[in-house]
Amino acid sequence: MSATIAESTKETAAIERRVEALLGQMTLAEKIGQMSQLNASDANAPDYLGDALRAGRVGSVLNVADVEVINELQRIAVEESRLGIPLLVGRDVIHGFKTIMPIPLGQAASFNPDVARDGARIAALEAASAGINWTFAPMIDISRDARWGRIAESLGEDPFLTGVLGAAMVQGFQGDDLAATGTIAACAKHFAGYGASEAGRDYSATNIPENELRNVYLRPFRSAVDAGVTTFMTSFSELDGVPATGNDFLLRQVLRDEWSFDGFVVSDWDSVRQLQVHGLTADDRESAYMAVTAGVDMEMAGDAYISHLEGLVEDGRVSVDTIDTRVANILRIKFELGLFEKPYTDPSRLPPLVSDDALQVARQAALQSVVMLKNDANALPLSKDSISSLAVIGPLADAPYEQLGTWIFDGEPELTITPLASLRDQLSEEVAIRYVRAMETSRSKVSPAFDEAVDAARESDVALLFLGEESILSGEAHSRADINLPGDQAELVRRVKATGKPVIAVVLAGRPLTLSNIVDNVDAILFAWHPGTMGGPAIADLLLGVESPSGKLPATFPRVVGQVPIYYNRKNTGKPPIPETTVLIDDIPVGARQTSVGNTAYHLDAGYTPLYSFGHGLSYAAFRYDNIRVSPAEMSVGDTVTISADLSNDSDVAAEEVVQLYVRDLAASVTRPIRELKGFKRVLVEPGQTVTIDFEIDMDDLSFFGRNMQLTTEPGDFHVWIGGSSDTELRSEFRLVNSE
């Protein structure tokens, strides 16, 4: 045993002794108090929570970010209660505290774990300076439906990408030492399947077969456990008829028994009492019973535990051992965080808020998150030498609050640098900028300002349109049935296009949008998500060619909303669509006879391909992939196989490319997706340079849950692809053989 492992084992044993000793001193009421998290959002929280804190009836508070208030709450808990147990202070620090990073979906477009890790690290340092020691992030729900508002908080549709980036966020929040100054506990949410809500409506039911649940939706959560995440949050939604907050299959069988998770589980906001609303229980007492026996250690915001657990124990329905287990899970994390030794916060021990380092991290994150969807005839980048005037049009060119995105409780719009401000700064007096907002909000209708926008475009060399959706149109409880650009933005695009001037669209949004009604009326599209505090400088750098776009789509963009859910790693079906069997609605002869012979899985009015595929993203460089090879071509159980390809930059622009590896298991005991992401690398390639990209695959990378719900790897034939998106055609193959 190494010295490091031995020391860690010793520390773990010491914490367990402290947990056991403290539990032995606690009354039942004090134990239940540790299982209760209360809202402390009002400035006078020490007054209205004071008595409960002194009585040991509160284990955690949330929604407070004032260091003086938090220190006073901690003082009451530590110095005026019988046992002096410090508080966990939770906050939704989702993609930044004061320095706001791109929304998580935007960070996922970077395909860069460093972006996720560094952004979470900045968020932890800034939040810790306010006294916050626990964040409700990362959200690692697999999201295949762009209508769902919370796709903005997610890391997209792919389990592998989400698992890698989610683990990086955990590491950023928690660091190498959970007790170190500036680290905060992370929370993997929402466990599990929330992203599959019916019709993309938030809080709706989810119905996911167990095989799909294990192979897709649970994988990122397992990655979070492996990364050392300290807490889990249950989903609002039900899973196959059992709401997650009362689901012992998820919370006991999978999380505790199969994964050996030793942190604690918190409910989502008041979701214990909502078990009755779902129809699982008859009243709050039964809801408390169902949640605590299923495995929810702490109740967020509700009072079912405080009101009913003591009576349930006295009646013999809930054992003291169950309560002790739940409380031990919570105390363990408090000890690991070092809260007993350091309950108070001294902001002077932490870096200043919105430091130069933080802003640089935010700028780099925004830069790598932007995806260039289209660039006809090299419309981008814009050259100061070739244009003398620029029309900047649209409701999101200069909207400091809107570009921050959802879940930015503590973000300050006045710190935001907008694209308009950045363009003015970078272009100075060299290029005249004609700015017309045109629409008051992204939802506005046609107005006389459209004519002003058209005039500005007609008088300029290039029209630059900043389109999208306001931040309030995505996020929790903000699902949309129509995911076109809101309002009359498409009409604005049409009118500006009619001037005959080049039209560049920059889209700021919290989800994939259906862009079919504008894509043919613009020459180039940069999809910037909601890019955060430093989105403006990053966008300006990309527009002006200071940097090359390098983001890739973490979620598929449908042509029309009727294709939803649409995702790259679908199953093949028995009748897979191919161009030769796809007849679109306008090509069907009048009076054609009904037949199903030769028909395949597609929509008559939309085909089967998305507008833009998962992994898609263009560059100012001209990348070319060649010479894919596999070594060895036959892999024995327990071995690894190396897949390689050559990547060439056939341009005079140095740029980064996200190289992606996909695999398909051709025949298995349960059907497997047509492609699965198994690796990615961000590579800088100089002009004229050719580099060799290598990926290694082992048996674990090929494993899946079979018919018996056990993880397995089966011998057989596999296809592999290396390229710049999920629809790359550069393919090879290998065989996995049983060495026996």
**Cα-atom radius of gyration of the chain, to the nearest Å?**
27
Beta strands in 483-571 (DSSP E): 503-508, 524-527
Percent helix, strand, coil in the chain, to 5, is 35, 20, 45
* Distance in angstroms (rounded) separating the CA atoms of residues 232 and 244: 12
Instruction: Give one DSSP letter per residue of 572-590, joined into a string.
Output: --SS---GGG---GGGSPT
* Distance in angstroms (rounded) separating the CA atoms of residues 14 and 377: 66
268, 284, 297, 665: the catalytic one is: 268
Say which DSSP state 224 is in. Answer: H
Instruction: Give one DSSP letter per residue of 26-74, joined into a string.
Output: --HHHHHHHTEEEE--STTHHHHHHHHHHTT--SEEES---HHHHHHHH
Q: Are the C-beta atoms of 513 and 152 separated by less than 8 Å?
A: no
Instruction: Give one DSSP letter per residue of 430-470, joined into a string.
Output: TSEEEEE---SSTT----THHHHHHHHHHTSSEEEEEEE--
* Distance in angstroms (rounded) separating the CA atoms of residues 331 and 426: 53
3-state DSSP of 299-328: EECCCHHHHHHHHHHHCCCCCHHHHHHHHH
Helices 67-79 and 45-54, interaxial angle, to 10°?
A: 20
* Distance in angstroms (rounded) separating the CA atoms of residues 491 and 428: 31
C-alpha closest to that of 340 among 22, 1, 27, 723: 22
Q: CA geometry: angle at 601 spanning 599 and 604, to 5°? A: 75
Exposed/middle/buried for residue 77 (C-beta within 10 Å: 0-12, 13-18, 19+): buried
* Distance in angstroms (rounded) separating the CA atoms of residues 470 and 463: 21
Q: CA geometry: angle at 13 spanning 11 and 19, to 5°? A: 105
Q: Are the C-beta atoms of 90 and 134 separated by less than 8 Å?
A: yes
Q: Does residue 268 have an active-site annotation?
A: yes
Q: What count of other Cβ atoms lies within 10 Å of the Cβ of residue 122? A: 28
* Distance in angstroms (rounded) separating the CA atoms of residues 643 and 636: 15
* Distance in angstroms (rounded) separating the CA atoms of residues 274 and 74: 30
* Distance in angstroms (rounded) separating the CA atoms of residues 293 and 326: 10
* Distance in angstroms (rounded) separating the CA atoms of residues 27 and 320: 11
* Distance in angstroms (rounded) separating the CA atoms of residues 297 and 316: 19
395 upstream amide cis, omega within 30 of 0: no
- Tell me the C-alpha to C-alpha distance, in Å, between residue 620 and each of 79, 318, 545: 61, 63, 8
* Distance in angstroms (rounded) separating the CA atoms of residues 705 and 214: 7
Joined tokens for residue 117: 């890790």
Q: Are the C-beta atoms of 367 and 547 separated by less than 8 Å?
A: yes
C-alpha closest to that of 493 among 460, 542, 528, 457: 457
Joined tokens for residue 570: 């679908």
* Distance in angstroms (rounded) separating the CA atoms of residues 208 and 144: 13
C-alpha closest to that of 292 among 260, 269, 267: 267
Q: Which positions are catalytic? A: 268
